[in-house]
Amino acid sequence: MVADAEVLRVLIEVLDEFAALSPFHRQRLGSYQIKLSHRGLLDAILQLCGVPKDRLRPICSSIDKLDKEPWESVRKEMVEVKNLPEQCADRIGQFVTRSGQPWELVRELRADAALCSGQFGAEEALADLERLFAYLDAMGNVLNRCILNLSLARGLDYYTGLIFEAVLTDGTTPLGSIGAGGRYDKLVGDFAGKQVPCVGTSVGIERIFSLMEDAERELAQATGRVIRASKTQVLVVGIGNVDLVQRLKLCDELWRAHLAAECVYTERPKMARQLQYALDRGIPVLAILGENELASGVVGLKRLSTQEQIQVDRGSSMLQAIRDWITAENSQQIHHYGSDPEGNGRSTTDEVPTAHTGNKPTDPW
């Protein structure tokens, strides 16, 4: 059970780090609870209530619906669809509606002479849980986040011991599960031939990122900062007769200096289109190439947020000027956590996406 305890601690550490990013993140992600239970305990309870051994899994999958449906409708399914005697379903109902502080509920179950009669394996499952709780107690305040919840069944058949689910408890998020896992000691053996005991957790990263985007927007609004829709730092812009190859050459110089640069993918796009492209994505710096710049080996640099514009030699002074502006911008901007449609500023299509939702600097021209 040490590995089980470590997995729970890792899950809590990960979730707490998301919540720690700002007060807005804490508000969205800071209130959660780990519901946990044990497959062996659930099986023992079901057998005590009169469920035959070969019907444990179908009844489990009915119980699994208790987080979305009231007990009455789960009971109805057990009796009418799965042909469980009513009396049997009612006994199950007395157990699976219980949940509480882990040590306390385990103590109550230990005191249940019928459950712990040595017939159903409840003692082994409770001993597992007691060891788990002792290890969690040793790992700081991990157990404070946990609740032993006998309605937790985890529909998947492969779990063999501990099962758990992290659920948001702020009441505003309708589908609040942001992580889940458990022990699955037989799954690898079923495929690989060799038994490999396993315990693991998954984090609901899409759901968490969606909540983080909400938090980022609130944070941006509260602080007046800008959310950038792209990680690109420099848009290489061509004026007049400067073609794509010339712009790519400058991109290449910036890439070699580890600056995230891109250009619009058409041969000679209009200036207005290139500017709009930068504004839509929140790209902070333009590197501007006209025929004069090309001829004299210089580049025009424009910082969109402040309207500063300078001309520099194409080389180390260009790189330094860009880095200075990027550093200044980074202290004012928030990177977008969601999916970057440009894949780090490199795109496979030439489509201009719709404008992002953050504040935009006003048109500099």
Q: Report how far residue 261's alpha carbon sits from residue 250's, in angstroms, rounded to the nearest whole number.
A: 9
Strands 285-289 and 234-238: parallel
Q: Contact letters (x/-) for a second copy, 197-236, by CB under 8 A?
A: xxxx------------------------------------
Applying CB under 8 A, among 138, 175, 272, 355 the residue interacting with a second copy is: 138
Q: Using DSSP, how many helices (H) and how many strands (E) does the chain show?
A: 14, 13
Q: Which DSSP state fits 193?
A: S
322-351 binders of a second copy (CB under 8 A): 346-349
The residue among 111 and 245 lying less far from a second copy, judged by its C-beta, is: 245
154 annotated binding-site participant? yes
Least distance (Å) between residue 262 CB and a second copy = 9
Specify the stretch interacting with a second copy by CB under 8 A; choose among 8-16, 101-109, 282-290, 291-299.
Answer: 8-16
Q: What's the order of all strands across the beta sheet hosting 298-303? A: 261-262, 234-238, 285-289, 298-303, 309-313
Q: 135 with 18: CB under 8 angstroms?
A: no
Q: Contact letters (x/-) for a second copy, 229-248, by CB under 8 A?
A: ---------------xxx-x
110 annotated binding-site participant? no
14 part of the interface to a second copy, by CB under 8 A: no
Listed in order, strand segments (DSSP E) in the chain are 32-38, 99-100, 146-149, 162-168, 177-183, 199-203, 226-228, 234-238, 261-262, 285-289, 298-303, 309-313, 333-335
Least distance (Å) between residue 190 CB and a second copy = 17
Distance from first CA to last CA of the chain, Å, rounded? 65
Q: Report how far residue 111's alpha carbon sits from residue 108's, in angstroms, rounded to the nearest whole number.
A: 5
Least distance (Å) between residue 305 CB and a second copy = 27
252 part of the interface to a second copy, by CB under 8 A: yes
User: Reduced to 3 states, what is the DSSP secondary structure of residue 194?
Assistant: coil
Specify the stretch interacting with a second copy by CB under 8 A; choose among 82-90, 95-103, 135-143, 298-306.
Answer: 135-143
Least distance (Å) between residue 263 CB and a second copy = 8
The residue among 139 and 156 lying less far from a second copy, judged by its C-beta, is: 139
User: Reduced to 3 states, what is the DSSP secondary structure of residue 9?
Assistant: helix
- Token output for 222: 């509260």
The binding site for a second copy (CB under 8 A) comprises 2-3, 5-7, 9-10, 13, 134-135, 137-140, 196-200, 244-246, 248-249, 251-252, 255-256, 265, 346-349
Show binding-site residues for L-histidine.
Answer: 154, 158-159
